[in-house]
Structure 1
Amino acid sequence: MFTALYTAKSGMTVQQTNIDLHSHNLSNVSTTGFKRNFANVEDLAYQNYRQVGAAATEQNQLPTGLHMGLGARTVSIGRNFEQGSLQESKNSLDVAINGNGFFEVTMPDGTIGYTRDGSFKVDAQGRLVTSGGLPVANGITIPPNATNISISNDGAVSATVPGNTQPQPLGNLAMSGFVNAGGLEPIGQNLFKESAASGQPQQGTPGTNGLGIIKQGFLESSNVNVVEELVNMIQTQRAYEMNSKAISTTDQMLAKLSQL
């Protein structure tokens, strides 16, 4: 009977993790390029009281065994990298990836970070940077007197400056893809880092080698479905209540047993 207490406790822990994830998803429903999180759950080891196929008699075998489960646990948190909808912003520095891939940005320690957030800005030095001030990997600098900035589908950045009728090329947005994007390590600020699980980045030109194309004047919205998250929260709450009810019932049974 004590097993029931620990089994139900493990179920409550799993549902608490689910609630935390649903809350995190809902809090980022308006975050550009955010990818929905979800928990991967597995059942715990079983107590084997009677082996499947054991001999019942000299001529017969047991068709089933007796394995008592001990609950569940959360083993990992995954991310759904399904494409979010593209929302038009009409800002020339806003870009979205229509398809697979990540923008490359230079981290303060010189390493490369990866993001789906293309809400770029220009800093005091004229560099094209993220909202957090991190420069894009190829070091694109916008002239201070640029009158028009254009970013093509393949990531080529150009600008029109006074005195020139032809656009001046400024560089190309760096993009990478990963064999296992779910293995990227999230570090906050809409950024990911390469990990052993993600594999090495596969750099390429947007629109080639499985990478998506660039859409200027658009931003990728979060792929969180508010209605789905709310329904899942209700289901999680009910599961939590049922596990807590199992603990309460077991406690009552133990109290009754102690009175015998």
Structure 2
Amino acid sequence: MHNALSIAKTGMAAQDAKMTAISNNLANVNTVGFKQDTVVFADLFYSIDKNAGTETADLNQHPTGIQLGNGVRVAGTQKIFTQGNINTTEQQYDLAINGDGFLQVTGGDGDILYTRNGQLQVNADGVLVTNQGFAIEPEITIPDNATKVSISQDGIVQASIAGQTDPEELGQITLAKFMNPSGLRPLGDNMLGATDASGDAIELVPGQEGVGIIQQGALEGSNVQIVSQMVDMIQTQRGYEMNAKIMSASDEMLQYIAQQS
């Protein structure tokens, strides 16, 4: 009977972890470029009293055996990198990625970080930076006398300069692609870091090898689907309640045994 209590405990812990992921998804429903998380479960080891195929007393084989599970555990969490809706903003430094790529930025310690949030600004030095002040990589500097900046779908940055007829090319924005984007490490502030699981970044010009294209004057919204998250929340709540009832029922059975002994 004690096994039922411990198994129900693992079930409650697993459902609590899933509810945490759901609450984080819903909290970030309006976060630019956010990718929803999902929790992956796995059953725990089994207590085997008799293996399937074991000979019975009359020399026949036991067809199923006796194998009792010991609960569930969280095997991992995974980000779902489906495309979010692209919303037009008409802001010249807003960039949306339509595809699988990531913008590259230089973090505070000099490491290269990755993001889907293309809500860019220009700092006091004219450098194109993220909301956190991290410069994009390769670095793009906007002249102070630029009247208009245009960014093509393949990442070419050009600026119209006062007094000049032809636009001036300022640089090339590239995108990074990973063999396993789900292996990227979330760092907060819409930033991701590469890991051994994600593999090394493959730097590509937008439009190449499925990395995606850049859309100026637009932002990619969160890919969180509110309806599906609400359904998951109800299922998770019910699962938690059922495991709590198992603990209560098991406790009542133990009390009965104690009273009868």
TM-score range, shorter chain: over 0.9
Partner of 1:106: 106
Deviation at 1:139, TM superposition (A): 1.1
Give the conservation status (yes or no) of the 8 Å contact 1:94–1:216: yes
Map Cα deviations across residues 30-51 of structure 1 (whole Å, 9 max, x no partner): 0000000010100000000111
Map Cα deviations across residues 122-148 of structure 1 (whole Å, 9 max, x no partner): 011110000110000111011112111
Deviation at 1:57, TM superposition (A): 4.4
Partner of 2:132: 132
Partner of 1:40: 40
CA distance in 2, matches of 1:235, 1:82: 23
CA distance in 1, matches of 2:236, 2:145: 55
Point out 4+ residue stretches in structure 1 off by more than 4 angstroms: none
Partner of 2:231: 231
- Which runs of structure 2 are paired with 1:46-61 in the superposition (5 Å)? 46-57=46-57, 59-61=59-61
- Gaps in structure 2 of 5+ consecutive residues: none
Match of 1:20, SS? helix
Partner of 1:24: 24
- Which runs of structure 2 are paired with 1:133-148 in the superposition (5 Å)? 133-148=133-148
Give the counterpart letter for 1:48 in structure 2.
I
CA distance in 2, matches of 1:22, 1:111: 30
Q: Using the aligned pairs only, state the percent identity.
A: 44
- Which runs of structure 2 are paired with 1:194-213 in the superposition (5 Å)? 194-213=194-213
Map Cα deviations across residues 39-92 of structure 1 (whole Å, 9 max, x no partner): 010000000011110011464211111101000010111010000010000101
CA distance in 1, matches of 2:199, 2:209: 16
Match of 2:246, SS? helix
Give the conservation status (yes or no) of the 8 Å contact 1:103–1:116: yes
Match of 1:170, SS? strand
Partner of 2:187: 187
Give the conservation status (yes or no) of the 8 Å contact 1:78–1:182: yes
Map Cα deviations across residues 205-250 of structure 1 (whole Å, 9 max, x no partner): 0000221001111100000011111111111000000000000000
Give the counterpart letter for 1:124 in structure 2.
A
CA distance in 2, matches of 1:228, 1:202: 33
CA distance in 2, matches of 1:167, 1:55: 85
Deviation at 1:174, TM superposition (A): 2.3
CA distance in 2, matches of 1:211, 1:259: 68
Taking structure 2 as the reference length, the TM-score comes to 0.98
Give the conservation status (yes or no) of the 8 Å contact 1:136–1:174: no
CA distance in 1, matches of 2:16, 2:76: 14
Count of residues in correspondence between the two structures: 260
Moved more, 59-68 or 75-84: 59-68
- Gaps in structure 1 of 5+ consecutive residues: none
CA distance in 1, matches of 2:165, 2:246: 76
Match of 1:259, SS? helix
CA distance in 2, matches of 1:79, 1:109: 25
Partner of 1:5: 5
Give the counterpart letter for 1:81 in structure 2.
F
CA distance in 1, matches of 2:237, 2:57: 47
